[in-house]
């Protein structure tokens, strides 16, 4: 499916072939519908061999710059699910793009963010610009990638993207950069356009009660909330089921529906997914770091609030186009939101996204973390939907 103006076009191709070479080739071939292609973005199921997907995709791309990531599920205009490849191509004289990659980001997240942000220097500063980031989803410290990119680009260039997944296996994710297949890496594309770009960010979780201070913690661990062991406070304040007090699986099931929310000094809200309980130390383990002395809220939500947030994120992204019709939408949706929605819910969500797209094609994936830096120097999210609209 494609959409075009006189200067720019955005097209999406898909494949559900079980042959990874064929899947990569079919999806890219279907996406290459317009003249002067500038960038191809590939999202591939973690069940497919990424090296073979890359082989097929690059053969079809014919030298067009390509980035991509493995997923925890793929999103396209007419489908949302697993075991496929979704490819997006953008181009035309009104589009420019440049790509970059860092092979291993573990231990040098800020440096990696700064390195890939350098590719934006190749774009005309007079264009509408955005930096699309696709990092490894298992390396942690993703906010440091954002800070590194921000140190190079400043406030003028927003950051968007999603963290690569591996279908909930939590073992290894992959990133594609041309013919390179990386593990534990970071790939990026700086996109410039003669027409506006819009970003929408919403999560759908409701604040409960009064804020609490993280009075002790380190990295992605919370030791104390309001000077009480964090795990005890969390379980008692949310009336957790008895099994969550002793069983890790029951705790994670409960925590998926009750993430922590925080508000940055910029006013931007961010969610933090609680990935585990440390029963011995009475600590909470989060997917991402929290700032020292952060004020956090307990939250809850359901499929209704999540779908409301989906519509809000999409409308916000399209509204930022200044009255122009979208050419296409990228959607970066947290895999834990997918778990809450279930199979019927993700189809309802896709309907919401398509309604906001006004007939334009849609591409995206279910992530291990979402990126949306619109204001301030932060912008790493969990359990959130981030939408990039192009016009």
- State the alpha helices, DSSP H only, in the chain: 20-31, 50-61, 109-117, 142-153, 230-237, 248-256, 303-319, 335-357
Q: What is the DSSP string of 15-30?
A: E--SSHHHHHHHHHHH
Q: What 3-state class would DSSP assign to 44? A: strand
Long-range contact list for 116-121, CB < 8 A, 24+ apart? Answer: 116/149, 116/186, 116/187, 116/188, 117/148, 117/149, 117/150, 117/151, 117/152, 117/153, 117/157, 117/188, 117/190, 118/152, 119/188, 119/189, 119/190, 120/152, 120/153, 120/157, 120/190
Residue 15 has pLDDT above 90, yes or no: yes
Instruction: Return the structure tokens found at 302.
Output: 């359901």
pLDDT (mean) for 53-68:
98
- In terms of pTM, does the model score above 0.85? yes
Q: What is the DSSP string of 256-302?
A: HTS-EEEE-TTS-EEEE-EEEEETTTTEEEESS---TT-EEEEEE--
Q: What is the pLDDT of residue 378?
A: 84
- The reported pLDDT for the residue numbered 11 is 98
Rounded mean pLDDT of 342-351?
A: 93
Residue 43's pLDDT is 98
Torsion of CA 102, 107, 111, 117, to 10 degrees: 50
Task: Give SS3 for 239.
Answer: coil
Q: What pLDDT was estimated at residue 331?
A: 98
SS3 311: helix
Q: What pLDDT, on the 0 to 100 scale, is given for residue 376?
A: 78
According to the model, what pLDDT value does residue 40 have? 98
* Interior angle at CA 381, CA 380 and CA 382, nearest 5: 140
The per-residue pLDDT of the chain, averaged, comes to 94
pLDDT at res. 3: 84
Model pLDDT for residues 102-149, shown as the tens digit of each residue: 999 988 999 999 999 999 998 999 999 999 999 999 988 899 999 999
pLDDT at 5 > cutoff 90 = no
């Amino acid at each position: 499916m494609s959409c075009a103006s006189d200067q720019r076009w955005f097209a999406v191709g898909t494949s559900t072939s079980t042959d990874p070479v064929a899947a990569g080739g079919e999806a890219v071939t279907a996406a290459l519908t317009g003249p002067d292609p500038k960038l191809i973005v590939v999202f591939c199921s973690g069940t497919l061999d990424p090296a073979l997907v890359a082989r097929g995709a690059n053969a079809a791309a014919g030298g067009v710059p390509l980035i991509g990531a493995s997923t925890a599920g793929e999103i396209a205009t007419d489908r949302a699910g697993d075991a496929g490849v979704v490819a997006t191509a953008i181009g035309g004289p009104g589009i420019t793009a440049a790509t970059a990659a860092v092979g291993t980001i573990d231990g040098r997240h800020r440096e990696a963010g700064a390195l890939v942000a350098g590719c934006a220097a190749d774009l005309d500063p007079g264009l509408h610009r955005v930096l699309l980031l696709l990092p490894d989803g298992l390396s942690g410290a993703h906010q440091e990638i954002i800070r590194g990119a921000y140190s190079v680009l400043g406030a003028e260039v927003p950051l968007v993207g999603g963290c690569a997944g591996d279908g909930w296996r939590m073992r290894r994710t992959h990133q594609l950069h041309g013919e390179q297949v990386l593990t534990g890496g970071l790939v990026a594309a700086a996109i410039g356009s003669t027409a506006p770009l819009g970003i929408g960010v919403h999560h759908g979780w409701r604040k409960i009660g009064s804020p609490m201070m993280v009075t002790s913690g380190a990295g992605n661990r919370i030791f104390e909330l309001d000077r009480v062991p964090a795990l005890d406070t969390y379980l008692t304040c949310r009336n957790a089921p008895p099994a969550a007090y002793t069983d890790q699986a029951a705790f994670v099931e409960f925590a998926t529906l009750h993430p922590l929310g925080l508000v940055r000094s910029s006013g931007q809200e961010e969610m933090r997914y609680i990935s585990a309980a440390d029963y011995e130390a009475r600590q909470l383990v989060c997917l991402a770091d929290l700032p020292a002395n952060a004020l956090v809220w307990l939250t809850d939500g359901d499929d209704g609030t999540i779908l409301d947030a989906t519509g809000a994120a999409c409308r916000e992204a399209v509204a930022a186009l200044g009255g122009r019709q979208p050419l296409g939408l990228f959607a970066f949706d947290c895999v834990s939101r997918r778990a809450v929605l279930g199979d019927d819910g993700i189809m309802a969500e896709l309907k919401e996204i398509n309604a906001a797209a006004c007939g334009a094609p849609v591409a995206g994936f279910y992530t291990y973390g979402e990126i949306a830096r619109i204001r301030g120097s932060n912008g790493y999210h969990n359990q959130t939907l981030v939408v990039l609209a192009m016009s």
